[in-house]
Amino acid sequence: MDYHQDRFKDHSLMLYKKDKLIALFPANQDENILYSHQGLTYGGLLIKKDIKLRDVKECLQILLDYLKENNIQKAYIKSLPSLYSPIPIDELNYLFFILKAKLTRRDALSVINMKHRPKLSRDRIAGNKRALKNKLAVKEVDAFDDFWNEILIPNLKERYNTKPVHTLEEIQKLKKFFPNNIRQFNVYKDGVIVAGTTIFETEYVAHSQYISGDDDRNILGSLDFLHIYLLDEVFKDKMYFDFGISNENQGRNVNEGLHYWKEGFGARTMTQDFYEIDVKNSHKLDTIFI
Protein backbone atom coordinates (compact mmCIF):
# COMPACT_ATOMS: atom_id res chain seq x y z
CA MET A 1 0.00 0.00 0.00
CA ASP A 2 3.01 2.28 0.29
CA TYR A 3 2.74 3.47 -3.30
CA HIS A 4 -0.20 5.75 -2.36
CA GLN A 5 0.66 6.44 1.27
CA ASP A 6 0.43 10.19 0.66
CA ARG A 7 -3.33 9.88 0.05
CA PHE A 8 -4.25 8.21 3.34
CA LYS A 9 -3.41 8.42 7.03
CA ASP A 10 -2.49 4.81 7.61
CA HIS A 11 -3.72 3.13 10.80
CA SER A 12 -3.32 -0.55 9.93
CA LEU A 13 -3.33 -3.03 12.79
CA MET A 14 -1.83 -6.46 13.52
CA LEU A 15 -3.45 -8.87 16.00
CA TYR A 16 -1.59 -11.56 17.91
CA LYS A 17 -2.38 -14.61 20.00
CA LYS A 18 0.47 -15.71 22.29
CA ASP A 19 2.95 -13.69 20.21
CA LYS A 20 1.72 -15.33 17.01
CA LEU A 21 0.27 -13.10 14.30
CA ILE A 22 -3.25 -14.32 13.46
CA ALA A 23 -4.99 -11.33 11.83
CA LEU A 24 -4.42 -8.10 9.95
CA PHE A 25 -6.60 -5.06 9.55
CA PRO A 26 -5.43 -2.79 6.69
CA ALA A 27 -6.95 0.55 7.61
CA ASN A 28 -6.74 4.31 7.36
CA GLN A 29 -8.03 6.96 9.75
CA ASP A 30 -9.98 10.14 8.99
CA GLU A 31 -10.58 12.23 12.10
CA ASN A 32 -12.31 9.90 14.62
CA ILE A 33 -13.33 7.22 12.10
CA LEU A 34 -11.35 4.16 11.03
CA TYR A 35 -11.93 2.69 7.58
CA SER A 36 -11.05 -0.63 5.99
CA HIS A 37 -8.24 0.77 3.87
CA GLN A 38 -9.84 2.95 1.21
CA GLY A 39 -6.92 2.38 -1.11
CA LEU A 40 -7.72 -1.32 -1.44
CA THR A 41 -10.44 -2.82 -3.63
CA TYR A 42 -10.97 -5.68 -1.19
CA GLY A 43 -9.93 -5.95 2.42
CA GLY A 44 -11.48 -6.01 5.86
CA LEU A 45 -10.25 -8.01 8.83
CA LEU A 46 -7.95 -10.64 7.32
CA ILE A 47 -7.67 -13.78 9.42
CA LYS A 48 -5.64 -16.96 9.22
CA LYS A 49 -7.61 -19.81 7.70
CA ASP A 50 -7.09 -22.14 10.67
CA ILE A 51 -8.56 -19.96 13.44
CA LYS A 52 -12.04 -20.66 14.78
CA LEU A 53 -15.10 -18.53 15.47
CA ARG A 54 -14.08 -17.81 19.09
CA ASP A 55 -10.73 -16.44 17.96
CA VAL A 56 -12.34 -14.34 15.26
CA LYS A 57 -14.72 -12.96 17.88
CA GLU A 58 -11.78 -12.14 20.16
CA CYS A 59 -9.93 -10.41 17.33
CA LEU A 60 -12.90 -8.22 16.47
CA GLN A 61 -13.60 -7.40 20.12
CA ILE A 62 -9.99 -6.48 20.83
CA LEU A 63 -9.96 -4.34 17.68
CA LEU A 64 -13.07 -2.43 18.77
CA ASP A 65 -11.79 -2.01 22.33
CA TYR A 66 -8.54 -0.63 20.95
CA LEU A 67 -10.50 1.89 18.90
CA LYS A 68 -12.47 3.01 21.96
CA GLU A 69 -9.26 3.53 23.90
CA ASN A 70 -7.96 5.70 21.07
CA ASN A 71 -11.11 7.85 20.85
CA ILE A 72 -12.22 6.42 17.52
CA GLN A 73 -16.01 6.31 17.49
CA LYS A 74 -16.84 4.29 14.40
CA ALA A 75 -15.31 1.68 12.14
CA TYR A 76 -16.28 1.12 8.53
CA ILE A 77 -15.35 -2.43 7.59
CA LYS A 78 -15.66 -3.98 4.13
CA SER A 79 -16.09 -7.72 3.93
CA LEU A 80 -13.83 -9.91 1.84
CA PRO A 81 -15.82 -11.53 -1.01
CA SER A 82 -16.02 -15.25 -0.36
CA LEU A 83 -14.57 -16.17 -3.75
CA TYR A 84 -11.15 -15.05 -2.53
CA SER A 85 -10.99 -17.89 -0.04
CA PRO A 86 -11.15 -21.66 -0.68
CA ILE A 87 -12.96 -22.17 2.65
CA PRO A 88 -16.06 -20.55 4.24
CA ILE A 89 -15.20 -17.17 5.78
CA ASP A 90 -18.52 -15.75 7.01
CA GLU A 91 -17.59 -15.56 10.70
CA LEU A 92 -17.34 -11.79 10.48
CA ASN A 93 -20.74 -11.43 8.81
CA TYR A 94 -22.26 -13.31 11.74
CA LEU A 95 -20.42 -11.13 14.26
CA PHE A 96 -21.55 -7.96 12.48
CA PHE A 97 -25.12 -9.18 12.99
CA ILE A 98 -24.47 -9.55 16.73
CA LEU A 99 -22.97 -6.06 16.85
CA LYS A 100 -26.05 -4.66 15.09
CA ALA A 101 -23.74 -3.22 12.48
CA LYS A 102 -25.36 -1.04 9.84
CA LEU A 103 -25.13 -2.25 6.24
CA THR A 104 -24.16 0.93 4.36
CA ARG A 105 -23.31 -0.45 0.95
CA ARG A 106 -23.57 -3.68 -1.04
CA ASP A 107 -21.71 -4.08 -4.31
CA ALA A 108 -22.64 -6.65 -6.96
CA LEU A 109 -19.60 -8.43 -8.39
CA SER A 110 -19.85 -10.29 -11.70
CA VAL A 111 -18.11 -13.63 -11.14
CA ILE A 112 -17.64 -16.82 -13.15
CA ASN A 113 -17.25 -20.12 -11.35
CA MET A 114 -14.67 -21.64 -13.66
CA LYS A 115 -15.59 -25.20 -12.70
CA HIS A 116 -19.24 -24.66 -13.58
CA ARG A 117 -19.29 -22.13 -16.42
CA PRO A 118 -22.64 -21.31 -18.02
CA LYS A 119 -22.71 -21.15 -21.79
CA LEU A 120 -21.65 -18.01 -23.62
CA SER A 121 -24.49 -15.83 -24.84
CA ARG A 122 -25.19 -15.42 -28.54
CA ASP A 123 -23.94 -11.83 -28.39
CA ARG A 124 -20.54 -12.84 -26.98
CA ILE A 125 -20.19 -15.66 -29.52
CA ALA A 126 -21.07 -13.25 -32.34
CA GLY A 127 -18.51 -10.73 -31.05
CA ASN A 128 -15.81 -13.37 -30.97
CA LYS A 129 -16.62 -14.38 -34.56
CA ARG A 130 -16.30 -10.73 -35.68
CA ALA A 131 -12.90 -10.55 -34.01
CA LEU A 132 -11.70 -13.68 -35.78
CA LYS A 133 -12.96 -12.32 -39.08
CA ASN A 134 -11.06 -9.08 -38.43
CA LYS A 135 -7.92 -11.10 -37.61
CA LEU A 136 -7.40 -9.62 -34.16
CA ALA A 137 -4.56 -10.85 -31.96
CA VAL A 138 -4.11 -11.02 -28.17
CA LYS A 139 -0.70 -10.50 -26.62
CA GLU A 140 0.48 -10.36 -23.02
CA VAL A 141 2.88 -7.45 -22.50
CA ASP A 142 4.98 -6.16 -19.61
CA ALA A 143 4.49 -2.46 -20.42
CA PHE A 144 1.29 -0.59 -19.61
CA ASP A 145 1.99 2.58 -21.60
CA ASP A 146 -0.01 1.79 -24.74
CA PHE A 147 -3.10 0.61 -22.87
CA TRP A 148 -3.07 3.50 -20.38
CA ASN A 149 -2.29 6.29 -22.85
CA GLU A 150 -4.05 5.10 -26.00
CA ILE A 151 -7.13 3.33 -24.61
CA LEU A 152 -7.88 3.55 -20.87
CA ILE A 153 -7.24 7.21 -20.02
CA PRO A 154 -8.98 8.65 -23.14
CA ASN A 155 -12.02 6.36 -22.67
CA LEU A 156 -12.52 7.17 -18.99
CA LYS A 157 -12.11 10.88 -19.71
CA GLU A 158 -14.61 10.88 -22.59
CA ARG A 159 -17.29 8.61 -21.07
CA TYR A 160 -17.14 9.35 -17.35
CA ASN A 161 -14.88 12.43 -17.03
CA THR A 162 -12.68 10.49 -14.63
CA LYS A 163 -9.24 8.87 -14.45
CA PRO A 164 -7.98 5.36 -13.64
CA VAL A 165 -7.59 4.72 -9.92
CA HIS A 166 -3.92 3.95 -10.61
CA THR A 167 -1.71 6.35 -12.52
CA LEU A 168 0.59 4.84 -15.12
CA GLU A 169 3.53 5.31 -12.76
CA GLU A 170 1.66 3.58 -9.92
CA ILE A 171 0.66 0.52 -11.93
CA GLN A 172 4.22 0.21 -13.23
CA LYS A 173 5.52 0.34 -9.66
CA LEU A 174 3.00 -2.28 -8.53
CA LYS A 175 4.05 -4.52 -11.41
CA LYS A 176 7.64 -4.38 -10.14
CA PHE A 177 6.46 -5.35 -6.65
CA PHE A 178 4.20 -8.16 -7.91
CA PRO A 179 5.49 -9.26 -11.35
CA ASN A 180 3.56 -12.54 -11.33
CA ASN A 181 0.27 -11.14 -10.01
CA ILE A 182 -0.33 -8.11 -12.22
CA ARG A 183 -0.62 -8.90 -15.93
CA GLN A 184 -1.52 -6.86 -18.98
CA PHE A 185 -3.26 -8.33 -22.04
CA ASN A 186 -3.74 -6.21 -25.17
CA VAL A 187 -5.68 -6.78 -28.38
CA TYR A 188 -4.22 -5.64 -31.70
CA LYS A 189 -5.51 -5.14 -35.23
CA ASP A 190 -2.80 -4.86 -37.83
CA GLY A 191 -0.28 -4.17 -35.07
CA VAL A 192 -2.28 -1.32 -33.51
CA ILE A 193 -3.75 -1.65 -30.00
CA VAL A 194 -7.55 -1.62 -29.96
CA ALA A 195 -8.41 -3.00 -26.49
CA GLY A 196 -6.95 -4.45 -23.32
CA THR A 197 -7.42 -5.54 -19.74
CA THR A 198 -5.28 -5.41 -16.62
CA ILE A 199 -5.53 -8.57 -14.54
CA PHE A 200 -4.82 -8.86 -10.82
CA GLU A 201 -4.18 -12.55 -10.22
CA THR A 202 -4.32 -14.49 -6.95
CA GLU A 203 -3.99 -18.20 -6.30
CA TYR A 204 -7.70 -18.81 -6.85
CA VAL A 205 -8.98 -15.78 -8.77
CA ALA A 206 -8.22 -13.74 -11.87
CA HIS A 207 -9.68 -10.24 -11.45
CA SER A 208 -10.10 -7.73 -14.28
CA GLN A 209 -9.07 -4.47 -12.64
CA TYR A 210 -9.40 -2.47 -15.87
CA ILE A 211 -11.24 -3.31 -19.11
CA SER A 212 -11.36 -0.93 -22.06
CA GLY A 213 -11.54 -0.85 -25.86
CA ASP A 214 -11.48 1.77 -28.58
CA ASP A 215 -14.58 3.18 -30.28
CA ASP A 216 -14.75 0.20 -32.65
CA ARG A 217 -14.78 -2.42 -29.87
CA ASN A 218 -18.34 -3.55 -30.68
CA ILE A 219 -17.75 -3.62 -34.42
CA LEU A 220 -14.47 -5.53 -34.04
CA GLY A 221 -15.58 -7.71 -31.13
CA SER A 222 -12.26 -6.98 -29.44
CA LEU A 223 -13.34 -7.25 -25.80
CA ASP A 224 -15.40 -10.39 -26.42
CA PHE A 225 -12.43 -11.98 -28.20
CA LEU A 226 -10.04 -10.98 -25.41
CA HIS A 227 -12.08 -12.37 -22.54
CA ILE A 228 -13.06 -15.61 -24.25
CA TYR A 229 -9.35 -16.17 -24.83
CA LEU A 230 -8.55 -15.45 -21.17
CA LEU A 231 -11.31 -17.74 -19.94
CA ASP A 232 -10.59 -20.60 -22.35
CA GLU A 233 -6.79 -20.48 -22.32
CA VAL A 234 -5.02 -18.35 -19.73
CA PHE A 235 -7.17 -18.72 -16.60
CA LYS A 236 -9.08 -21.92 -17.29
CA ASP A 237 -7.65 -23.58 -14.16
CA LYS A 238 -8.64 -20.82 -11.71
CA MET A 239 -11.54 -21.28 -9.33
CA TYR A 240 -13.10 -17.94 -10.29
CA PHE A 241 -12.86 -15.12 -12.81
CA ASP A 242 -13.91 -11.81 -11.26
CA PHE A 243 -15.07 -9.03 -13.59
CA GLY A 244 -15.54 -6.73 -10.58
CA ILE A 245 -18.49 -4.43 -10.05
CA SER A 246 -20.75 -2.50 -12.42
CA ASN A 247 -22.10 -0.37 -9.57
CA GLU A 248 -22.49 3.36 -9.19
CA ASN A 249 -23.87 5.54 -6.41
CA GLN A 250 -22.33 3.51 -3.56
CA GLY A 251 -23.83 0.24 -4.78
CA ARG A 252 -27.39 1.52 -5.23
CA ASN A 253 -27.33 1.49 -9.02
CA VAL A 254 -26.03 -0.92 -11.66
CA ASN A 255 -24.73 -0.01 -15.10
CA GLU A 256 -27.14 -2.34 -16.91
CA GLY A 257 -25.29 -2.54 -20.21
CA LEU A 258 -21.95 -3.30 -18.59
CA HIS A 259 -23.46 -5.86 -16.24
CA TYR A 260 -25.30 -7.55 -19.14
CA TRP A 261 -22.04 -7.76 -21.10
CA LYS A 262 -20.32 -9.56 -18.21
CA GLU A 263 -23.25 -11.93 -17.78
CA GLY A 264 -22.84 -12.89 -21.42
CA PHE A 265 -19.64 -14.74 -20.49
CA GLY A 266 -21.45 -16.67 -17.78
CA ALA A 267 -20.78 -14.28 -14.90
CA ARG A 268 -23.28 -14.31 -12.05
CA THR A 269 -23.65 -12.06 -9.03
CA MET A 270 -21.77 -12.28 -5.75
CA THR A 271 -21.85 -9.47 -3.21
CA GLN A 272 -19.42 -7.49 -1.12
CA ASP A 273 -20.85 -5.76 1.95
CA PHE A 274 -19.73 -2.62 3.77
CA TYR A 275 -20.63 -2.12 7.43
CA GLU A 276 -20.67 0.77 9.87
CA ILE A 277 -19.89 -0.33 13.43
CA ASP A 278 -20.35 1.72 16.57
CA VAL A 279 -17.37 0.74 18.72
CA LYS A 280 -19.45 1.17 21.89
CA ASN A 281 -21.26 -2.04 20.94
CA SER A 282 -18.22 -4.26 21.40
CA HIS A 283 -19.69 -5.65 24.65
CA LYS A 284 -22.45 -7.36 22.62
CA LEU A 285 -19.89 -9.92 21.51
CA ASP A 286 -19.79 -11.21 25.12
CA THR A 287 -23.28 -12.68 24.67
CA ILE A 288 -22.55 -15.14 21.87
CA PHE A 289 -21.37 -18.33 23.53
CA ILE A 290 -23.62 -20.16 26.02
- pLDDT score recorded for residue 42: 80
SS3 for the chain, per residue? CHHHHHHCCECCEEEEECCEEEEEECEEEECCEEEECCCCCCCCCEECCCCCHHHHHHHHHHHHHHHHHCCCCEEEEECCCHHHCCCCCCHHHHHHHHCCCEEEEEEEEEEEECCCCCCCCHHHHHHHHHHHHCCCEEEEECCCHHHHHHHHHHHHHHHHCCCCCCCHHHHHHHHHHCCCCEEEEEEEECCEEEEEEEEEECCCEEEEEEEEECCCHHHHCHHHHHHHHHHHHHCCCCCEEEEEECEECCCCEECHHHHHHHHCCCCEEEEEEEEEEEHHHHHHHHHCCC
Question: Is residue 5 over pLDDT 80?
Answer: no
- Looking at the structure, tell me whether residues 96 and 150 fall in a common domain: no
Which whole number is the average pLDDT over 224-248? 97
Are residue 128 and residue 194 in the same domain, yes or no?
A: yes
Query: Does 196 fall in a domain?
Result: yes
| 227, 283: one domain | no
The answer to whether residue 249 sits within a structural domain is: no
pLDDT at 290 over 80: yes
Q: Residue 42 falls within a domain, yes or no?
A: yes
- Domain containing 18 equals 2-106+273-287
Residue 268 falls within a domain, yes or no? no
> Are 91 and 148 members of one domain?
no
| 158 and 205 fall within a common domain | yes
Q: Report yes or no on 266 lying in a domain.
A: no
- Asked if residue 79 and residue 16 are part of one domain, the reply reads yes
- CATH value at residue 182: 3.40.630.30
> Does the residue 252 lie in any domain?
no
Statement to judge: residues 198 and 154 lie in one domain: yes
Residues 102 and 124 in one domain: no
Query: Does one domain contain both 63 and 129?
Result: no
pLDDT > 70 in the chain, percent: 99
pLDDT band (50, 70, 90) for residue 86 = confident
Structural domain count, the chain: 2
| Interval 115-163: pLDDT, tens | 999 999 999 999 999 999 999 999 999 999 999 999 999 999 998 899 9
One domain, residues 120 and 102: no
Q: Is residue 27 part of a domain?
A: yes
In a shared domain, residues 123 and 227: yes
Q: Are 240 and 109 in contact (CB under 8 A)?
A: no
Within this chain, do residues 233 and 124 fall inside the same structural domain, yes or no? Answer: yes
What is the predicted pLDDT for the residue at 25?
A: 96
Is 258 a member of any domain? no
Lowest mean pLDDT among 3-7, 185-189, 218-222, 271-275: 3-7
